[in-house]
Amino acid sequence: ILNVEQSPQSLHVQEGDSTNFTCSFPSSNFYALHWYRWETAKSPEALFVMTLNGDEKKKGRISATLNTKEGYSYLYIKGSQPEDSATYLCAFNAGNNRKLIWGLGTSLAVNP
């Protein structure tokens, strides 16, 4: 059974803090790892699609790293802002079988 785990489940930080969270996935048969951001009352929005071991991607203050050999990805947010408050989801794809296996997400709340 393929399982994707995210930690922590929820996180409260102050505006300006930097933070990071983890996505763990099976290390065998890796094909792709997706990060999405889901704000309340909005649609999930793609952040990154990562495919290669050692990949690092960046979008503004958000960056992500990928380790396929050990089966984890980190998402970093530098200088958190209240508008970063959302649930951050990762999803794993094995062997390009077209189906994404989703984690339960990390819920981030940034206090002004």
Partner 1 sequence: GAGVSQSPSNKVTEKGKDVELRCDPISGHTALYWYRQSLGQGLEFLIYFQGNSAPDKSGLPSDRFSAERTGGSVSTLTIQRTQQEDSAVYLCASSLVAGGQSQQYFGPGTRLTVT
State the residues that interact with partner 1 by CB under 8 A.
4, 31-32, 34, 36, 42-46, 49, 51, 89, 91, 93-105
Least distance in angstroms from the C-beta of 67 to partner 1: 18
DSSP states of 21-34: EEEE--STTEEEEE
Following CA atoms 16, 81, 104, 69 in sequence, which dihedral angle do they give, to the nearest 10 degrees?
Answer: -60
Tell me the backbone φ, ψ of residue 46, rounded to 5 degrees. Answer: -70, 135
User: Closer CB to partner 1, residue 66 or residue 80?
Assistant: 66
User: Closer CB to partner 1, residue 46 or residue 109?
Assistant: 46
User: Closer CB to partner 1, residue 72 or residue 102?
Assistant: 102
